[in-house]
Structure 1
Amino acid sequence: MTQQHHLRGVLLASSACILWGISGVAASTLFINNPHLTAMWLTQVRMISAGLILIIWGMLAGKHPFQIWHHRHAVWTAVSYGLLGLIPVQLCYFEAVRVGNAPIATIIQFLGPFIISIYYFLFKHVTPSRIELIGMIMAFIGTLLIVTHGHLNSLAISPVVLFWGGLSAIGVATNTLIPRTILPKYGALTVTGWGLLIAGIFLTLLQPMWRVHLTITWPQFGLLLVIILLGTVAPFLMFARSLSDILPTTASLMDAFEPLAATVFSITFLNVQLTSFDFVGGLLIILAVMALSMNTHKMLQFLHRRRAHSS
């Protein structure tokens, strides 16, 4: 791997995460300018549109996306990925943005990797390392600062924001863990495309989007395209492409650009006011997740060795 390829991978991964952060700001702008817009409707449109685009893209790229339907295990995994992974990570995130703001929602969602560490500890009996324990303490303090602003007897943010943000963080964990068994065989493009489409159709069956009476202006339609194309399809393709040039642990470090982008663009374009507690708390969480990401490959190597030994 040349230095040029490594730089390309870093730029692709960081740009993808910045676009994900911008999509949250675009969603927040839509919710502000159109009070009748719901997180459910926005998630449905985003999932179905992006899912179809990714599946068609896979067909054009010769990935044979329909092969996944020939194996029962793969189908159930894709369905579980869509319903238990993508719905909470997208619908609950948009709900947190709608009732709060993009920076806080993104930072709370950023706690997802620690839920993965807790899962490995409880169900895989992988003891957290020292750096992971330090990271968890940092993340806890950072979250406490954001939630209480230093006053432990009261909440500085709405419990509703914390609720939806917490569910979206759990979604980050399930979104990462569920599809791992089928990704090597079918590829991220196929799995993510079908997961998005399945999730979008499921939500539409629960609440048909055509029953929602909305008036969308052209600027709002432009923001919707930003969320679908620049905030979903493009960053996914960019991040997936970056993994051929850099290690997954390096790519995961670029995730820090998502809450940073959401914060910078929200302050610049939406005049969102954040306190020093929000900045310090967010910084602690970002540093904690970066520390965890640098140690993730050791945990995966341990699991691989343990699996090989048991077999």
Structure 2
Amino acid sequence: MTQQHHLRGVLLASSACILWGISGVAASTLFIANPHLTAMWLTQVRMISAGLILIIWGLIAGKRPFKIWRVRHDAWTVVSYGLLGLIPVQLCYFEAVRAGNAPVATIIQFLGPFIISIYYFLFKHVLPSRVEGLGMLMAFIGTVLIVTHGHLNSLAISPVVLFWGGLSAIGVATNTLIPRTLLPKYGALTVTGWGLLIAGVFLTALQPMWRVHLTLTWFQFGLLLVIILLGTVAPFLMFARSLSDILPTTASLMDAFEPLAATVFSIAFLNVQLTRFDFIGGLLVILAVMALSINPHRMFRYLRRRRTHTSS
């Protein structure tokens, strides 16, 4: 791995996370511009459009996306991934954005890795390390500051935002855990493409999108394209490509750019007002997730290999 490749991987992963953050701001702008727009409709359009693009892309790239349906267990797993992973991580996130704002919704969703740690503790009996324990404490304090603004006897944000944001954080966990056996066999392009399409079709079956009568201006249609192409398809492809140049732990550290981008762009373009408690709490959550993403033993082994390779 050359320094140039490492830099390319870091740039791709960080750019992908910035685009994910921008997509939340674009969705918030769209909800403000068109009050009749629902999170359900936006999620359906995003999932079906992006899913079809990724599957077609996989066909063109020779990934054979339909072979996943030949194994019954894998087929059921990708269906579970779409319904239990992608729906909460996307629909619930948009509901939180619509009820509140993109920065707070993104930071609450950013707690997903700690739900994964709790899952491993409760069901796999894996105790968290000291770093993970410290990270959980930091994330808890940060979340309390955001939710209460320092006044523990009252909530500073709507319970609706907290509810949808919490479900989206759970979605981050299921979105990570469910497809982990499929990714090495079929690749992220195939698994994510089918997961998005399945989730979008399922939501459309529950509430057909064509029954929602919406009139979009060209500006609103442009925002919709930003969410689908720049906020879903492009960052997914960029993040997947980055993993061939950098370690997954390094790529996961770039996730911090998502809430940062959502905050910066919301303040710049939507005039969202955040208090010092939001900034301090958000910073604590971001630092906590970064600490959780670092595996010290793996990092030291990697640095030793790099040092040995460089000296030889």
The TM-score, its normalising length taken from structure 2, stands at 0.95
Map of 2:37 onto structure 1: 37
Map of 1:309 onto structure 2: none
CA displacement, residues 286-311 of structure 1 (integer Å, 9 cap, x when unaligned): 0000000003886xx9xxxxxxxxxx
User: Within the alignment, does 1:221 sit opposite 2:221 as a pair?
Assistant: yes
Residue correspondence of structure 1 range 174-193 to structure 2 within 5 A: 174-193=174-193
Cα 1:70/1:296, change in 2 over 3 Å: farther
Map of 1:118 onto structure 2: 118
Specify every segment of 5 or more residues in structure 2 that has no aligned partner in the other structure, as ranges: 302-312
* Structure 1 contact 249–296 (Cα < 8 Å) conserved: no
Counterpart residue type for residue 236 of structure 1: F
Aligned counterparts of 2:201 and 2:31: Cα–Cα separation in 1 = 22
Map of 2:241 onto structure 1: 241
Counterpart residue type for residue 165 of structure 2: G
Map of 1:71 onto structure 2: 71
Aligned counterparts of 1:182 and 1:254: Cα–Cα separation in 2 = 24
CA displacement, residues 71-107 of structure 1 (integer Å, 9 cap, x when unaligned): 1011100000000000000000000000000000000
Q: Which runs of 4+ in 1 moved over 2 A?
A: 295-298
Cα 1:296/1:192, change in 2 over 3 Å: farther
User: Within the alignment, does 1:100 sit opposite 2:136 as a pair?
Assistant: no
Map of 2:9 onto structure 1: 9
Map of 1:173 onto structure 2: 173
Residue correspondence of structure 1 range 233-272 to structure 2 within 5 A: 233-272=233-272
Residue correspondence of structure 1 range 118-197 to structure 2 within 5 A: 118-197=118-197
Cα 1:297/1:114, change in 2 over 3 Å: farther
Map of 1:304 onto structure 2: none
* Deviation at residue 279 of structure 1 after TM alignment: 0.1
Counterpart residue type for residue 109 of structure 1: Q
Aligned counterparts of 2:70 and 2:13: Cα–Cα separation in 1 = 32
CA displacement, residues 1-27 of structure 1 (integer Å, 9 cap, x when unaligned): 000000000000000000000000000
Aligned counterparts of 1:120 and 1:255: Cα–Cα separation in 2 = 21
User: Within the alignment, does 1:286 sit opposite 2:289 as a pair?
Assistant: no
* Deviation at residue 123 of structure 1 after TM alignment: 1.1
Counterpart residue type for residue 192 of structure 1: T
Map of 1:90 onto structure 2: 90
Map of 1:201 onto structure 2: 201
Counterpart residue type for residue 283 of structure 1: L
* Deviation at residue 124 of structure 1 after TM alignment: 1.2
* Deviation at residue 112 of structure 1 after TM alignment: 0.1
Alignment: residue pair count: 299
> Residue 152 of structure 1 aligns to a residue in which SS?
coil
> Residue 106 of structure 1 aligns to a residue in which SS?
helix
* Structure 1 contact 86–199 (Cα < 8 Å) conserved: yes
CA displacement, residues 32-81 of structure 1 (integer Å, 9 cap, x when unaligned): 00000000000000000000000000000000000011110111000000
The TM-score, its normalising length taken from structure 1, stands at 0.95
